[in-house]
Structure 1
Amino acid sequence: MTVVSSLPDRPLTLDDVTRIAEADTNHRFELSEGNLVVMPPGTWRHQEISLLMSAWLLSHGYRGRVNVAPGVRTAADDLNGRIPDLVVTTGSIPADTVWLDPAQVALAVEIVSKGSERMDRWLKPVEYAEAGIPLFWRVEPDDTVVQFRLDGNRYAEYGSVPLDDLLAGDVPDLS
């Protein structure tokens, strides 16, 4: 087990989280109002869904715009950042980027797992919407993909499809 032995006596920043993540590759780290959120690696199911969705997007012309578990800034300050399970960006991203600006994200995807239900269903969608990310998809434990589109500063559901049906079809326009 990795233990963070010395943390600053102030709210953490995204730069702090980047350094922590470099030292501990066994966990995923997010930042909420300067508070560190630590998550274990995803389950086999969780990782498989990320892989399947990534392969689907890559095979449909989104190469260079799809990544698994990138950092996304969720506020204008340096105290808030989340790690969606998958993103599609609006264009190419420099290779050394750690924290994406939300304006660079066309779609954020969260895969609901035991222990992340409230975060993935209630907290993250609010933060992504307020950050202006146009599309948000949530994969439920029954493999239903619930699709949302930004409507003002909140998401409105526009579709719900079984994961296998989604992956068997064409990728919608994510620009």
Structure 2
Amino acid sequence: MTVASNLPNRPLTLADVTRLAEADSSHRFELSEGNLVVMPPGPWRHQRSSMLMGAWLLNAYGDRVNAAPGVQTADDNLNGRIPDLVVTKAPVDDDTVWLDRAVVTLAVEIVSKGSERMDRWLKPIEYAEAGIPFFWRVEPDEGVVQFRLEDGRYVEYGKVPLEALLAGEVPVLS
């Protein structure tokens, strides 16, 4: 991979990751304390779940919904994650690459082989520390585990099959 050979000898920044993503569209890049995390595209089930949930959320939240946006998860420029879906508190400027964590109201992760620990353990901690009010995780069995931020930690408030979630009304996220 020629992109990796051109990495600087220092912790990476969100600007570095943006340049990497522009040069390599076949991977997703995240940043954890300046360390690069590289992920391949999700499998078919992952992408299908993302599209179905995205379309469902679009009905209620319109241009506040986006698939795989960058979210700056700390005050520095050394930490950024890419949730599978987000809903923001207000519309976002079209040129935004890394969302300020304060504008994100819901982050959704779809667990696939290779992302289990990251999606179940690490990302929820980072999203909670970032103050993102809601976090949903779609498990491989297509169960959607829903969490709400309370006292700086996520508390589970529901688990529903994806099909049942999508058949219902989109909840108010506030």
TM-score range (shorter-chain normalised) is over 0.9
Counterpart in the other structure of 2:137:
138
Counterpart in the other structure of 1:90:
89
Quick check: which one's helix share is greater? 2
Give, in angstroms, the shift of residue 3 of structure 1. 3.7
Unpaired runs of 5+ in structure 2? none
Counterpart in the other structure of 1:56:
56
Q: Note if 1:157 corresponds to 2:149.
A: no
Unpaired runs of 5+ in structure 1? none
Structure 1 letter corresponding to 2:54: S
Runs of 4+ aligned structure 1 residues displaced above 4 Å come to none
What CA deviation, in whole Å up to 9, does each residue of 1:12-34 have, x standing for no partner? 00000000000000000000000
Over 3 Å counting, the alpha-carbon distance change for 1:2 and 1:141 in structure 2 is: farther
Matches of residues 4-43 of structure 1 in structure 2 within 5 Å? Answer: 4-43=4-43
Task: Give the conservation status (yes or no) of the 8 Å contact 2:3–2:20.
Answer: no
Give, in angstroms, the shift of residue 2 of structure 1. 5.4
**Is the partner of 1:4 in helix, strand or coil?**
helix
**Is the partner of 2:135 in helix, strand or coil?**
strand
**Is the partner of 1:41 in helix, strand or coil?**
coil
Give, in angstroms, the shift of residue 153 of structure 1. 1.3
TM-score after normalising by structure 1 = 0.97
Counterpart in the other structure of 2:167:
168
Between the aligned residues of both structures, percent identity stands at 76
Counterpart in the other structure of 1:79:
78
Q: Distance in 2 between matches of 1:44 and 1:3?
A: 26
What CA deviation, in whole Å up to 9, does each residue of 1:92-148 have, x standing for no partner? 000000000111101000000001000000000000000000000000000000000
Q: Distance in 1 between matches of 2:26 and 2:34?
A: 21
Task: Give the conservation status (yes or no) of the 8 Å contact 2:14–2:77.
Answer: yes
Task: Give the conservation status (yes or no) of the 8 Å contact 1:73–1:99.
Answer: yes
TM-score after normalising by structure 2 = 0.98
Q: Distance in 2 between matches of 1:107 and 1:129?
A: 11
Structure 2 letter corresponding to 1:102: R
Task: Give the conservation status (yes or no) of the 8 Å contact 2:3–2:23.
Answer: no
Task: Give the conservation status (yes or no) of the 8 Å contact 1:30–1:83.
Answer: yes
Counterpart in the other structure of 1:47:
47
**Is the partner of 1:64 in helix, strand or coil?**
helix
Q: Distance in 2 between matches of 1:93 and 1:142?
A: 32
The alignment's C-alpha RMSD in Å is: 0.9
Aligned residues: 174
Q: Distance in 1 between matches of 2:48 and 2:2?
A: 25
